[in-house]
Structure 1
Amino acid sequence: MRKDAQQNRDKILATAAKLFHDQSVAAVSMKDIAAAAKIGIGTLYRNYPNKSELCLAVSFNFIHQFVTDGQVYLSETTVSPIEQFQHVLQRYLDFREQRLQLLAFIESGPTVMATYYQSELYQQLVVLFMQVLAPISGEIETGELEFRADMVIAMLKSNSYAYQRQQQGLSPQQIAENISNLMIRA
């Protein structure tokens, strides 16, 4: 990719992340992003054909940071496997809580989720959860371990998470405790 094209993409992502943080994701239009980034609307649409794609790209940066932080934590910690799982799960809940609107917008996009599930980054997220689930899951096949990791992530999709928070009145800590109870085999 040309240097100027990469600079435009970086500027678009930084501007969108700031606007999404400062306002609701729904309130920010593609036109707003182009104007704030000081680029033409055509340039924006050449890079991101719709808002869902742009939101996914912004999220990739956040997810990448979460996975990287999780790997660093696991390489440095000496706490028990249960505490490792609970720590990573709680950090994932914190991550989702901070980006509820952005993640909900992505998850409602018709084609974006297929792109996300097929991405290397999603696979890295699954592997991170497999790492913390393996020691607390007893003797299970790799396929079942991958399924469990994928299901932990699926349980926390925006609509499920919002239901637990808003309709059921659970705190993030209560959600983490309930998921831990489901996943930890005694």
Structure 2
Amino acid sequence: MRKDAAQNRAKILVTAAKLFQQRSVSTVSMKDIASAAQIGTGTLYRNYPNKSELCLALSFDFIQQFITTSQNYLGQTTAKPVVQFQQVLAQYLAFRERRLQLLTAIESGPTVMATYYQSTLYQQLVALFKRVLAPVSGDIEDDELTFRADMVIAMLKSNSYAYQRQQQGLSREQIANNISHLMIRNEKGL
């Protein structure tokens, strides 16, 4: 990538992050971002064809931080497998809640989720959940374990999570407990 193109991408991301801190993601337009970054709208759209793509780019670092922090925890802990699963799940819920606006913008994008599902980052997230699900899932095949990891992630997409929090009135802890009951095969034996 050319140096000026890389600088423009960085400028766009920094500017968007600042605007998203000042106002909600949904109220910031692409035109607002281009204007604040002092670049043309054509330059913005060449780099990020829509706001969902831009939000995905902003979120990659946050998702990677969550994965790295969780892997470090798993590398150091001596907690039982059930506790490990519950800890990673609780941290994922906290991460999603902190980044809810960005993640909602990503998940509502027309083509962004297909890009995200094919990314190395998503595969790392699935691998993380497989790692904590494997010891609490009983004797299952890798395909089913992958399915379970995908489903944990899918259950927590922004619209589902917001529905459980706002409409059903569940706390983050209640959501984590309910997911644990769905995913853990035999709590007593672990």
Q: How many Å separate the matches in 2 of 1:91 and 1:161?
A: 14
The match for 2:16 is: 16
Equivalent AA in structure 1 for residue 142 of structure 2: T
CA positional deviation for 1:40: 2.4
- Superposed counterparts of 1:1-186, under 5 Å: 1-186=1-186
Structure 1: segments with no counterpart, 5+ residues: none
Q: After alignment, is 70-79 or 32-41 more displaced? A: 32-41
Cα 1:18/1:77, change in 2 over 3 Å: farther
CA positional deviation for 1:183: 0.9
CA positional deviation for 1:131: 0.5
Between the aligned residues of both structures, percent identity stands at 76
Structure 2: segments with no counterpart, 5+ residues: none
How far does the alpha carbon of each residue in 1:130-160 deviate from its partner, in whole angstroms, 9 at most, with x for none? 0000111111100000000000000001111
SS across alignment from 1:85: helix
Task: Work out the number of aligned pairs and report it.
Answer: 186
Equivalent AA in structure 1 for residue 121 of structure 2: L
Q: After alignment, is 8-17 or 86-95 more displaced? A: 8-17
After the TM superposition, list the runs of 4 or more consecutive aligned residues in structure 1 that deviate by more than 6 angstroms.
none
SS across alignment from 1:7: helix
TM-score, scaled relative to structure 1: 0.95
CA positional deviation for 1:119: 0.9
CA positional deviation for 1:42: 2.0
Q: How many Å separate the matches in 1 of 2:148 and 2:19?
A: 35
